[in-house]
Amino acid sequence: MTVARSQLVDVSVTRYYHCISRCVRRAFLCGEGFEHRKQWIEDRLQTLSGCFAVSVCGFAVMDNHLHVLVRLDADAVKAWSAEDVARRWTTAYPPKSAAGEEIEVSQAWIDQQVKDEPRVAVLRARLASLGWFMKALKEPLARMANKEDDCKGTFWESRYKSIAILDEEALLATCAYIDLNPLAAGLATTPETSPHTSVAQRVQHAQAKGELEALKAAASGSVAGSRAAGDVEEDFWLCPVEDRRRLGGLREGLLEGFSLGSYLLLIDYTSRLCRQGKARVSREVASILERLGSSAEVWGQRIQKLLGKSRLLGSYFSTDRARLRELARQRGVHHLDNLVSATA
């Protein structure tokens, strides 16, 4: 027995989903002279992250496909006022006249929209929907590409694949897999130079704030360095790696007590596995993997399996076999299609 797709996006199970969209026929519609379209996608992701109750945790824009790791923040949308909803929707979808010209969004125009309570309720639900987020990401870009090519037709494959991420190690492995996609494809030599990835954006942001040295110190276990670099992603559009709310941070991050410096250290170690097939396990990397309940051997095998797949088959990703069994029991199925073999 299998689980219907409509059941997979369930915030009671997980809030994290790895979404994959491919260009039609797997054609290199964002490569081979059309690399500028990757920036279109990156810019659109940043815009939508400020509109939807969906946090962008990671991304990689490839020549013929797109990876996005998102977190669904369904509770956030409930706190938005009707005006918030209207303004967010018009940012994602600027209103146009019957002639196709953009309408100026004045306060009077917003006030008129707010009066339509049923419409506001519909938009509020859409702004919390993963399906609508992916639709708002892909459709405008397809139209832009078709206009540039002076053609009609499908740009993306009709459906996107979503993989539910069920535990911390699976979440970090997914982040690493996404950020290392260009490196694995031979498009980059180091993670921080990987074009159109979240890891490159994080490094550039930290560099612009003058915090790279503090991040290195934090990754090495320096308490002072950790404090200095702690808020480096507070004003960044991507979801912060570290969840610092207990320390006074205002934004929810991916993992509590896991710094951006630690993530960059883990990515650097993992990238060496991809390039060289082996890497020295430093004390800092070993402590990171130990905290996850993993080891260098298990982590390396898992990442190599992920990067070695031509297509990711499976609708769930968990490193905990007991978690999968329990979720299968709750869903009334014999088993769940896990992305990579789970540990005992």
CA atoms within 13 A on the CB side of 271: 24
- For residues 228-252, give the mean pLDDT: 87
Query: So what's the pLDDT on residue 209?
Result: 86
Query: So what's the pLDDT on residue 287?
Result: 86
* Beta bridge partner(s), residue 17: 70, 164
Across 7-137, the runs of DSSP E, i.e. the strands, are 16-22, 54-61, 65-72
Is the pLDDT at 5 greater than 80, yes or no? Answer: no
Decide if 8 contacts 315 (C-beta within 8 A): yes
Query: So what's the pLDDT on residue 310?
Result: 79
H or E element, residue 244: none
Of 245, 156, 260, nearest to 198 by C-alpha is 260
Q: Give 220's pLDDT tier (boundaries 50, 70, 90).
A: low
Q: How far apart are CA 326 and CA 339, in angstroms?
A: 17
**High-pLDDT (> 70) share of the chain, %:** 92
**High-pLDDT (> 90) share of the chain, %:** 54
Q: How far apart are CA 120 and CA 114, in angstroms?
A: 7
Query: So what's the pLDDT on residue 7?
Result: 46
* Beta bridge partner(s), residue 261: none
Q: How far apart are CA 45 and CA 28, in angstroms?
A: 20
H or E element, residue 252: none
Q: How far apart are CA 48 and CA 342, in angstroms?
A: 33
H or E element, residue 163: strand 161-165
Decide if 169 contacts 197 (C-beta within 8 A): no
